């Protein structure tokens, strides 16, 4: 028999900016959708791009069409963390969800479809 678990968290609510697909850094060629979650109605969402109030879009989500640093604001829960969307041809990505010390992390190496890649090597602990 399945059990339903409800988790109640006390304290202040914060605005979250969800990334789909859920990998960071986000890359423009991945058709990234940003969703703002927080208190209040979706129509109350204010979007910021590169630190400036941006666009007439007051919806709680949209598909990104330009590189930049994005943030949203919801009355009652404030500003979200920022999300940067890049246009790099080759990226090493980590999950966009919160990680704790000791978690196993899957990294992925991604490249634009028009690139010809024959080999990928991962290195650990290498400094530039």
Q: How confident is the model at residue 118 (pLDDT cuts 50, 70, 90)?
A: confident
Residue found by looking up tokens 């129509």 in the block:
43
Measure the CA–CA gap between 12 and 5, rounded to whole angstroms.
Answer: 21
For residue 25, cis peptide bond before it (omega within 30 degrees of 0) = yes
In the chain, the N- to C-terminal Cα span, in Å, equals: 53
Q: How confident is the model at residue 101 (pLDDT cuts 50, 70, 90)?
A: very high
Whether 102 has a pLDDT exceeding 90, the answer reads: yes
Measure the CA–CA gap between 15 and 73, rounded to whole angstroms.
Answer: 7
- pLDDT in the model for residue 10: 43
- What is the distance, to the nearest Å, from the Cα of residue 89 to the centroid of all Cα atoms in its chain? 18
What is the per-residue pLDDT across 69-94, written as a single tens digit (0 to 9) for each? 999 998 888 999 999 999 988 899 99
- pLDDT in the model for residue 87: 92
Whether 33 has a pLDDT exceeding 80, the answer reads: yes
Residue found by looking up tokens 């530039």 in the block:
128
3-state secondary structure of 62: strand
Reference 45, options 13, 79, 86, 81; nearest CA is 79
**pTM: predicted TM-score of the whole model, two decimal places:** 0.78
């Amino acid at each position: 028999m399945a059990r339903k678990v409800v988790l109640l968290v006390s304290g202040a609510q914060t605005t979250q900016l969800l990334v789909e697909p859920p990998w960071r850094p986000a890359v423009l060629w991945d058709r990234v959708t940003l969703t703002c979650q927080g208190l209040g109605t979706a129509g109350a969402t204010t979007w910021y791009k590169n630190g400036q109030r941006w666009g007439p879009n007051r919806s709680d989500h949209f598909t990104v069409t330009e590189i930049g640093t994005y943030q949203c604001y919801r009355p009652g829960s404030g500003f979200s963390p920022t999300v940067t969307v890049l246009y790099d041809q080759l990226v090493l990505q980590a999950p966009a969800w919160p990680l704790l010390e000791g978690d196993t992390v899957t990294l992925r190496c991604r490249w634009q479809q028009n690139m010809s890649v024959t080999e990928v090597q991962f290195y650990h602990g290498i400094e530039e």
